Structure 1
Amino acid sequence: MEIAPTALALIGLLLAAWTAGAAWLVLRANTRARSAETGKKLSRRLSRMLEESPAVPLLVRTDGRIEAPDRLARWLGLAQMPSYLSELSASPDRGLTEDQVEEMTAMVRRTQKTAAPFYTAMKPVGSKRSLAFKGGLANPEVSPSGAALIWVFDFTASEEELIKLRKDAARARDDFAALVGLIEAAPSPMWFRGSDAKLRLVNGAYVAAVGANSADAVVSEQIELVEQVDGLSASEVAQQAAERRVPIERIVNATINGERRSLRVTDLPLIGEGIAGYAVDIEEMEEQARQFRAFRNAQRQMLDQLSIGVAQFNSERRLTFANQPFHRVFSLPPGVVNERTDFERVLMAARENGRIPEVRDFPVWRKELSRWFLAGETQEEAWPLPDGTHLRIVAQPMPDGGLVFIAEDRTEQLALSATRDTLLRTRTATFDNLFEALAVFAPDGDLEIWNRSFAGAWGLEETALDGHPDAEELLALIGPKLADPSRASAIGNTIRAATLDRKKRDGRVMLSDGRTLEYAGVPLPDGNGLLTVLDVTAAHHAEEALRERNRALEEADAVMNRFLANMSYEFRTPLTSIGGFAELLSSGVAGELPDQAREYADAIRESVTRLIEQVETVLNLSQSEAGLLPISKEPIDLLPFVTQIVRSREQAIVDAELTLDLRGDKKLTVNADPQQLRRAITHLLENAITATPPEGKLLIDLKRRGKATHITISDNGPGMEAEQLSRALGGLRMSEDGSGLERRKGLGIPIAREMIEAHDGTLEIVSRKGEGTTATITLP
């Protein structure tokens, strides 16, 4: 069958149209495929951007259904996102709490109804994350049914930083408040100035220092604490500190509470604007510094007075002080202190002067001495110098790193020590060879030292004392050796008195062997006690013999006293009778006598008178030597009394062709026995008359010197030699065996001396050959 051309044309057109349509469909499909691929890429990009974004979307529909990526589930600690909002609190240890879900539900419903946005922050259970929920009504293109779109932000790091900042801010506020309180409570004045150097803030101490009513008054009146110094005010100095950007510190004086005080003022420019300032009261520190300087000067003046050399070196090992003895000991040149000479140079100077010991290696030795500065304790050495001087060196390290160097010259002390050792050895030898037995006891009663005779004196073995027994043990050894063992306690009391009571006590004890020991306890200056023991057996026997003889002498003395008591009556009665009978014969009672008989009677009377005087003299001398001379004192006007004595011897003076000069104060009195004093002066005057040649001169001078009265009788006779004067003073005295009297030449001077001494006075006779004799009576 044959197809028409028209049909072919139509078929061709139809095929062309189908091809074109197919091609268009293919092109359109390609375009859609490319658009779909682009949409997929964009969707993946947006999804990736959402996953990487700091916020996660949460879509809550009106029925409570929620849509959110799994990322939010991880933030909430859930395995996957639930379907409803209420299911966020399904797990008790994950997600949100029921209260948080209720709060979130309420805010979502309010937003869905009113389109009001909300913001809240919540912390999931069991998680350290902090989540912020910022919600609003979703765009209709997102959810046309009125859903709520919530953006969830993880601000954990920001929250921690914010918490830290809040804590820092709170701490800063607390610190600032504490700082303000501290500044206000500070005892020192503090202040703050603005950029214009004017006061803007002061503390209470500043207000009190300037005497203002309040801090506001100080700021408003700009009351400065410190006065102008060198023409600059306090604000100007603060301005200089601000311009230089360096603190300025100075010490000034200010009046605080009415007192001038020393202050250390500091102006401190702050990092921002303003200048802070504070003042520290250093008055006490300055006073201590002044006291320290005064103490140091006084100490150095005191050290200059010492005989020991003292030097001070500072921490730099330089000489800061040396007293004069230190200069002398080491022969240092002047100026070493002012030049601050170091320690090694001082040793070098001392070496040049030969004032250090001879050492083999001086640099090494000097280096060893330099270590004294670093030593932890005092160093002490002995330095023998070449010239024989011995020095004791003491080095005392100081806490500040310095050194006190002390040098003591012990040459004399060592010499004295050697002398002392010699003396001790001499004392020991002397102690051991004394005739007396000696022992020294300590205050506690221990026997310290004894000599060789001590043990033998008590009849003990020498080895018995080797253990240094105490007093009780020694008495236990001595007791059996005594005739009366109970007497041992008396010896113990003597030892105790010498050692503890510091009193001297003695005693005597008999031994069982018949010996007699005399002991004594003597306290020693060192606190010990000395017990001396002496064998007085022979002396005891002699003493007994002397006692017997003394009893015999006492009986003889009693006989002599009775003899002297009766002597006056027995001698004077016959002599008075003879004189009376001779006077009767001379008066013619028995008849007229021839001339020769009358001469014999007168001679008898004259001899009786002289004999009576001699008897009186002998009796007075005997009574004076026996202590029986009767003395009856009474006031005497001395010048009339002596004048009367001179008048009684006037004829003898005229017959001897002598002149007498009597001098004295008429008011001079003396308390004495008239009769005995008259006899004493008469004897001395008669001796002067007898010893003076014709045309000689006598002088009697009465004077008072102080409380004593002096009666001086002098002549210009031939005088006497010392031997002659001694014989004249001897007169009549008892014989050596006590059996009688010895007659000496002349009794006037001895009797006069006895009578003067009976008045508690003295008689002094001075005689020179060819110049005369002077007798001076001194009466109290």
Structure 2
Amino acid sequence: MSKMKYSLPGQAEDGAYAADRPLQAGQEYKFAAVRVTARQKQWSLARIAKLCAASTAVAVPAWPVLAQAEPVIGASAHLFTSSQVVGLSVVIGVISAALLSTLWLVRQRGNLENESREIRSALSDAQQRISQYEALIADKNRRIVIWDGGARPELLGQLPPETGAPQDNEFLAFGLWLKARSASELERAVGRLREQAESFDMVIETMRDEVIEAQGRVSGGRAFVRFVALNNLRAELAELKIERDRLMTSISAFQTMLDAIDMPAWQRDTAGRLTWVNHAYGDAVEAQSPQQAVNEGREILTTVARERIHASTTPESPFHDTISTVVRGNRTFFDVVDVKVPNGSAGLAVDVSDVEAVRAELERTLKSHAETLDHLATPVAIFDGDRRLQFYNQAFVSLWELDISFLESKPDNSELLERLRAAKKLPDQLNWKSWKETALSVYRSLDTQSDLWHLPNGQTLRVFATAHPQGGATWVFENLTEQVDLETRYNTLVKVQGETIDHLSEGVAVFGPDGRIRLSNPAFRALWGITETEAKPGTHIRGIGEACAPSYDQPDGWKTFAELITSFDDERRSSQGTLELLSGLVLDFAVIPLPNAQTMLTFVNMTDSVRAERALTEKNEALRKADELKNDFVQHVSYELRSPLTNIIGFTDLLRTPGVGPLNERQAEYIDHIATSSSVLLTLVNDILDLATVDAGIMRLNYAEIDLADLLDDVSMQIADRLHESGVSLEITAPAYLGSIVADPQRLKQILLKLLANAANFSPEGASIALDCRREGTDFVFSVRDRGPGISPDMIATVFDRFATGAKSGKRGGAGLGLSIVDSFVSLHNGEVSIDSEPGKGTTVTCRIPSINLPHSVAAE
């Protein structure tokens, strides 16, 4: 129910007038009316007291009059005695005071009756409004209880009968119609509301399982609680909230119970991550708290165990087995039960280490050895005294690709060899029986036997067979296939590398740590002009340097290479550089450390590239100087032309003034032509100067916030004369509020004026130019469309070029700089400009100007 307020003047407890009293407290208005009546009575008593004082004041002035009459009375003493005179004076004074007081009281009585009528009328209106508001508050779906400082509260409205809520004063006996939990929570909340002004919102349940929303608030010094009967979705939501509270209570009870037992318990999500653990779990993983164990993902079980549990557990068949793990550095066995649920899984572990220690000490040791061997990459098989297979690792299974069921049947060693021979996985033998007997003779031998098996699939195995003192044997199969392949490929690689190095165009030489050359290719010897004998393997680097001296006569030439190659520093340094031989060859060299403390020295002939680079550098420098000269010339000429043009325009305007003298019609026409031509020439000079500034990279934008509506008004005013001269009109289409943009106001205005002037120049007389403006995000997008002759497809690519004047249908010729300036200024704003035109259908130029966040200067590139 929304809160309404009503203002009724009445005196508050502090003597001021109260206003904006809450509508819910209907008794407040009656109380205010009584206060007004009491005030009226106090006021009447005060008036009466004033009347008495006034009568006394009227009687007092009579005494001077009597005093002045004393001589007269004394003169007539023979007629009256002194006592008679005094009595007469008193009687006259009292009669006068009574008459004046009576007249004043009659007037005040009339005023009091008028005020009483007004107060009764206001009280009647207030009671009528209170009745209306009480009717609005009364609702069968809600009830309001108001405490106004007294012990007896006021009840407004009612709740539906199906809720079981009493309609009389028993409503406040919450324990009679609410459930015990809801009643106790509500009574505590009401107590805090009345004593501490603490508001509350809660959902309570009645004895009939109906749901009610209770809201407690304090307003205007009064406490009130609103009870609202919920229905439909709100009731369902409240019931769900209550059911959730019940479930959370149950979950909390179970978690408390699990925290109290000395057995690690956990809960995981569907991805296998921990979501909850108990204190026993936290202690087992040495976490300061269960939450820390969850946050850090501390696992009590090994990865293999968790994967096994995840793979074998189903909703119908929980996992139950004994798992070994490490707790506080000690090997511990847990009897683990893990149950799969829709949102993950939950598990419990019971420590059975003591039982396992007594019962399976030997089994655990064997299992540990087996796990160690199972992680080896070398295939291993162990046979007992009866020559039956007792153990094999994963590498053994991968090597022979045998069925697990066959291996688990613990076959005899001879049977295993027969199976491998039948599968054609053993070496082909001329005498199979003799070969098998030799292989199985290990069981009768005291020494380890070793043999090489070349398998049909191309693998090479070194087989070790060792007999056990108590009987049995261990077979180890070392796979030498990769080693043999690597050796073969290495030899092949060495040959290929030698051939490759010999045919390289770059010179290559490899030196050992002793400074002696290991190999060199023909390109190395050709670049330095030495023979194969002078660079034969084993020659010291000093001898190589002496042989290369005629080609590179520098004191520190090969000495630097020798220091890098034979250095004893812990960190071997690489080096790069360029050197020029006496023959004119330019070589790029690189000193590259290699493994085994060897060093490779390479030389690349860069003569042609260097010569081309030098030529390009010289040409680029010449072009740069020419460009600088051109820019300086254009700027100088532009500035020099602008000064006399300004004088011409000024004198032309002066000649137009009446003070200089009258001009005939022809002189006035000539003056107009001079002014027009000077203005066009000044515009052209300014355009050339702007382009020169852009080319020189010194133009900077002066960013400021621009109101786009004001910008369009300014542009339309400045272009009006040009449009009138060309006989065309301008239509501006823009939304009601374009907003503002941060850009250079002067350059943005130039862009619009150039586009409109260009469109006016190519539009037929009487046509209309359209300027469409819009905002796309923070960008300002505008387009200028004319109905001119259009541009042919082969000319569109050159419209933004400077001095491009291919179109001859314009009213006024120009230098062809308008669109070029537009393109330059848009680019400076990091914007985009495009043109769309068809012959005979007109041209549309579209520009996009982005707005920047903070004002800053941007230099032209």
TM (norm. structure 2) is 0.45
For the pair shown, the structure with the greater C-alpha radius of gyration is 1
